[in-house]
Amino acid sequence: MPRIRPFRPGDEPALAEICLKTADAGADGTGIFADDRIWAQIFVLPYVARHPDLAFVVETDDGRVAGYAVATDDTDAFEAWFRDEWWPEHGALWPKPECERSRQDGTLIYAYSRAPGVEPYAARYPAHLHIDLLPELQGQGWGRRLIETVVAALRARGVRGLHLVASADNAGALAFYPRVGFDPIPSHDGVQAFAMDLPATRRAPSAGA
């Protein structure tokens, strides 16, 4: 039986592979970019570097990592760190394109444009996450369990809201997120954003209260 466990250093290559294998609106993105490494350097590895305690994986019976959810509890702070620290070091292999001539160009332009306040969702929903599962785990409830695990960790920190953004072409994701408690919110062309309020967990009244 697979199990969910916290991220551990050394999981990074598996996470990068999962990110690549699900990068094309849930399908394998291998070969779409001239350099397959770009996907992970933008969409998963910075999260485990910045917030390893908000990263969780699904480990299979044979010890492989086949799914993950990664998050930040403060999107604006994360985007400032990505812009100022992560991308100057890890994105140096890929100069900023002058214009968008390919899908890779568009993704790199996105990476270079990340900054606090660029996305409108963080004001009300300060946390955001990315989640990916290899096909062998899909449809078995692991996505729901991963999201519940991240939500519990965010609630423990007092975070008031969570958002994520899916490709408008990813029909599976668009159907999945409402089933696990997310509501669609106004979005940019080509994507659909979803959000969830995270009310504080009520404490049981103390004896004699």
Domain that holds residue 12: 3-160
CA distances from 203 to 143, 145, 156, 199, 206 (A): 27, 23, 12, 12, 9
Please state the domain count of the chain. 1
| pLDDT value of position 8 | 97
User: What pTM, to 2 d.p., does this model score?
Assistant: 0.92
Domain presence at residue 192: no
Which of 25-29, 44-48, 74-78, 80-84 has the lowest average pLDDT? Answer: 25-29
**Cα separation, 22 vs 132, whole angstroms:** 7
What CATH number should be reported for the domain holding residue 53?
3.40.630.30
Position 200 confidence tier, pLDDT thresholds 50, 70, 90: low
